[in-house]
Amino acid sequence: MATFVLVHGAWQGGWCWKRVSAFLRRYGHEVYSPTLTGLGERAHLLDGTINLDTHIQDILGVIACEELTDIVLCGHSYGGVVITGVADKVHQHIRSLVYLDALVPEDGQNVLDLLPVEVGLSFQDIARTQGDGFRVAPSPAIDFGVNIQDQAWVDRRCVDHPLGSFEQPIQLQGLWKQVARHRYIYASGWAPGIGRPFFERAQKELGWETINLPCGHDVMLDMPKELTQILIASI
């Protein structure tokens, strides 16, 4: 039996892992899919003080309180930044890092640095003009290539995301690179496909494994069975 910690992306919550979590548990694994502060069922906590450190601490808290070790730590989209920060602090507890169509930062970068300039500016503009200065409203699911059957469900569940977590630069010592196994899963079936530059970089880096899946950004919804098998193979 292995231990999986699954970290969702921006605007979503632990709910997005429902199918994959069920499959993993069916195979006898232990699964945690915490919701980051201010999102999902914790949306009532959203305020202007939430930043990237808050979300990193959310996951560190789960690892500490549940006394987890030998973890397969997976981050989707924005969650890739979060798991990098987590692994940099507790790399000794992580067996594998899995980046699911995710952003992969270097020291001193923030989320906006990792996205096309116009996307980052649009997030800041939305927060300034529509979100009390700190809320970024979600884009419709169709923009992320979510399959048609799940689009309405995803749109109902997504909530505003704290801008502070996009703007705060990550502070890394490089210890996350000491984790034994790194995998990058690229979702190639949608545009603009934010994972492509990180996938291409991972293909060139020693010690990284790469996988290409022909689906939308929310792989856990479009291809949950396939993703489950990839995660199990990451043990």
Catalytic residues: 77
Helices (H), the chain: 18-26, 52-65, 79-89, 117-130, 151-157, 164-167, 196-204, 219-222, 224-232
Tell me the two tokens of residue 44. 């009532």
Q: Please tell me the distance from the alpha carbon of residue 22 to that of residue 64, in angstroms, as a whole number.
A: 23
Q: Count other Cβ atoms within 10 Å, centred on residue 207.
A: 10
Q: How far is CA 235 from CA 31, 43, 52, 104, 142, in A?
A: 13, 32, 27, 21, 32
